[in-house]
């Protein structure tokens, strides 16, 4: 047993990060050295109800309580003590979406997640109004679409927030967001680190004729930057989080953040000219910019780091879901053949096959579009695998093609940044499930972006750990210490990093694949139109 960890737990010298991902809610407890000492997780899935991707409030709270309880049980089993006091706590979640409440604090319509491509009209109108890209996922696009749709609930809105903001509010009573999370709600002014006031006024003018009883500034949460105190756990909040009643109230909370920001923190890529790619259910690249982009690109979101620096985000809705489904098929085959294959071993074997394939994937083509894909203008998706009679169809090329296509839509956005906007990048840090098999996902991504790709040994810790680091930063930072410095000095010093440089042959092969990918979008369109 680690005595230092036990002492830290008993003396409240720890921090908790809890993140709501799209398929898993994870809780991580870190010790004084910011290394994880306990964790717990809860699997969940969104539902598609009345043409809306959603999670119920019951699922949200059950998932939070279950992941926290599993972490608390992990503490008890490892260290023989009960978790009662913690130095700081932070919550993060998938960004964007739509949660609105009335004056009785009741949710007015079911939570609309980032996955809903239902706001095209408002997204276009607001992008034009602000001369600033407002993607369909953004909270403001959802709000304006509800107004355009004439939805009855709009006049009753008292408060609008995100999933992370909702959890934080219920546990502390504070209606706040971290600036990174807020930057996916409404555009941020980089000088004030607050909502862009000019655009707020433009929006208020835009909706004047609707005679609503609120103005936008009345209903949005307050914006805070990393390191600021965002309230404390109330008695009610402590009971909501820990149903056993062991956890004490009064614990300080840091500003709630989005999964994009926690990914940046967990990969130490909050400084300029750094970037990271998070690859799981969706894939997104986050590049910290040195300056503004030259023009508005509908494929590129502009958000911020948790400290308020400008970040260009190339986000694709689909990444590994279809790939995972194919691996599941091979698992079923193995079982049918009487072989009991370990899932991790199966992934590793299949992923390594991809490195044996032809540079371009042998002429095969697939789209892992389980849901719509805004990057290529699809409001719905149809997972699709296709080949010509002359393709080199073997297992290695099959796996290579599915790994290529996992980054296909995101690559279209990254090409705009690297080629059109001439954004400079020193390296990319990869994190997420696709990088678990050493060297494979890294090599594919390096080929896609033609940039060295690094993976840290902590890459598997993900956003919940990143959130715990933000909580720890708030609690433990020195006077005037920046988040960049805190991470370098207290978290990543001496961290083992594995870097893969792009292989020119693979880079050329990926470009060939992308030619095929772009031409083949008409096949995907036909599938959406004709396959219900």
Q: Please determine, for residue 458, whether its predicted confidence score (pLDDT) is greater than 70.
A: no
Distance CA 456, CA 468 (A): 17
- 460 band by pLDDT with thresholds 50, 70 and 90: low
Per the structure, the complete domain to which residue 518 belongs is given by 321-406+505-530
Question: What is the average per-residue pLDDT within 429-456?
Answer: 92
| Residues 53 and 156 grouped into a single domain | yes
| Residues 376 and 394 grouped into a single domain | yes
- Which phi and psi angles does 96 have, rounded to 5°? 65, -150
CA 144 to chain centroid:
23
- pLDDT value of position 2: 86
Q: Please determine, for residue 459, whether its predicted confidence score (pLDDT) is greater than 80.
A: no
Distance CA 159, CA 283 (A): 30
Distance CA 317, CA 113 (A): 12
Q: Please determine, for residue 10, whether its predicted confidence score (pLDDT) is greater than 80.
A: yes
Question: What is the average per-residue pLDDT within 123-136?
Answer: 96
Q: Global pTM?
A: 0.83
75 in Cβ contact with 38 (< 8 Å): yes
- pLDDT value of position 517: 98
| Residues 100 and 38 grouped into a single domain | yes
| Residues 149 and 182 grouped into a single domain | yes
Residues in the chain: 532
- pLDDT value of position 493: 86
| Residues 64 and 121 grouped into a single domain | yes
Q: Please determine, for residue 522, whether its predicted confidence score (pLDDT) is greater than 80.
A: yes
Task: From 5, 6, 12, select the one nearest 471 (Cα to Cα).
Answer: 12
- pLDDT value of position 411: 96
- pLDDT greater at residue 1 or residue 256: 256
| Residues 178 and 33 grouped into a single domain | yes
Cα three-residue angle 71-433-78, rounded to 5 degrees: 25
- pLDDT value of position 100: 98
Q: Please determine, for residue 430, whether its predicted confidence score (pLDDT) is greater than 70.
A: yes
| Residues 169 and 67 grouped into a single domain | yes
- 494 band by pLDDT with thresholds 50, 70 and 90: confident
70 in Cβ contact with 242 (< 8 Å): no
Q: Please determine, for residue 362, whether its predicted confidence score (pLDDT) is greater than 60.
A: yes
Looking at every residue in the chain, the average pLDDT score rounds to: 95
Q: How many domains does the chain have?
A: 2
Distance CA 72, CA 86 (A): 11
| Residues 63 and 197 grouped into a single domain | yes
| Residues 445 and 512 grouped into a single domain | no
| Residues 93 and 155 grouped into a single domain | yes
Question: What is the average per-residue pLDDT within 7-23?
Answer: 95
CATH number (domain holding residue 110):
3.30.420.40
Each residue's pLDDT tens digit, 298-348: 889 899 999 999 999 998 999 999 999 999 999 999 999 999 999 999 999
* Adjacent-strand bridge partners of 284: 278, 315
| Residues 384 and 521 grouped into a single domain | yes
Q: Please determine, for residue 243, whether its predicted confidence score (pLDDT) is greater than 90.
A: yes
| Residues 521 and 488 grouped into a single domain | no
């Amino acid at each position: 047993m680690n005595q230092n960890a036990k002492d830290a737990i008993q003396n409240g010298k720890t921090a908790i990060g809890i993140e709501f991902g799209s398929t898993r809610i994870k809780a991580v407890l870190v010790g004084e050295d910011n290394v994880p000492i306990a964790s717990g997780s809860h699997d969940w899935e969104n539902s598609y109800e009345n043409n809306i991707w959603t999670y119920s409030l019951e699922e949200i709270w059950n998932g939070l309580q279950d992941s926290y309880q599993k972490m608390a049980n992990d503490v008890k089993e490892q260290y023989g003590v009960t978790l009662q006091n913690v130095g700081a706590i932070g919550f993060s979640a998938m960004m964007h979406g739509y949660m609105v409440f009335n004056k009785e604090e009741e949710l007015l319509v079911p939570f609309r997640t980032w996955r809903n491509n239902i706001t095209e009209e408002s997204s276009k109108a607001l992008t034009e109004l602000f001369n600033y890209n407002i993607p369909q996922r953004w909270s403001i696009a959802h709000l304006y679409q509800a107004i355009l749709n004439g939805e009855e609930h709009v006049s009753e809105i008292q408060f609008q927030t995100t999933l992370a903001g909702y959890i934080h509010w219920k546990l502390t009573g504070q209606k706040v967001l971290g600036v990174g999370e807020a930057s996916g709600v409404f555009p941020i002014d980089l000088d004030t680190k607050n909502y862009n006031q000019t655009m707020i006024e433009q929006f208020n003018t835009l909706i004047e004729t609707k005679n609503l009883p609120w103005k936008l500034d009345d209903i949005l949460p307050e914006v805070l930057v990393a390191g600021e105190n965002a309230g404390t756990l109330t008695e009610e909040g402590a009971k909501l989080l820990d149903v056993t009643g062991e956890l004490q109230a009064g614990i300080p909370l840091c500003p709630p953040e989005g999964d994009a920001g926690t990914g940046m923190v967990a990969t130490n890529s909050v400084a300029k000219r750094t970037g990271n790619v998070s690859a799981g259910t969706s894939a997104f690249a986050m590049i910290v910019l040195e300056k503004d982009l030259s023009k508005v690109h509908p494929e590129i979101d502009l958000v911020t780091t948790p400290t308020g620096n400008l970040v260009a985000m190339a986000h694709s809705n689909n990444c590994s879901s279809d790939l995972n489904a194919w691996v599941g098929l091979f698992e079923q085959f193995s079982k049918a053949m009487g072989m009991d294959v370990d899932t991790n071993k199966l992934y590793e074997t299949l992923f390594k096959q991809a490195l044996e394939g032809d540079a371009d994937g042998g002429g095969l083509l697939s789209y892992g579009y389980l849901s719509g894909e805004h990057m290529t203008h699809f409001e719905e998706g149809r997972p699709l695998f296709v080949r010509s009679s002359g393709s080199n169809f073997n297992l290695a090329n099959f796996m290579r093609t599915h790994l290529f296509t996992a980054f296909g839509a995101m690559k279209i956005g990254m090409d705009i940044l690297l080629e059109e906007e001439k954004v400079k990048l020193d390296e990319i840090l990869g994190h997420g499930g696709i990088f678990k098999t050493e060297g494979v996902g890294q090599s594919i991504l390096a080929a896609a972006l033609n940039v060295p790709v690094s993976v840290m040994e902590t890459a598997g810790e993900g956003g919940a750990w990143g959130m715990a680091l933000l909580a720890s930063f708030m609690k433990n930072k020195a006077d005037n210490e920046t988040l960049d410095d805190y991470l370098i000095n207290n978290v990543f010093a001496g961290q083992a990093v594995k870097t893969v440089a792009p292989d020119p042959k693979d880079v050329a092969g990926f470009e060939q694949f992308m030619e095929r990918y772009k031409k083949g979008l008409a096949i995907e369109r036909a599938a959406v139109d004709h396959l219900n």
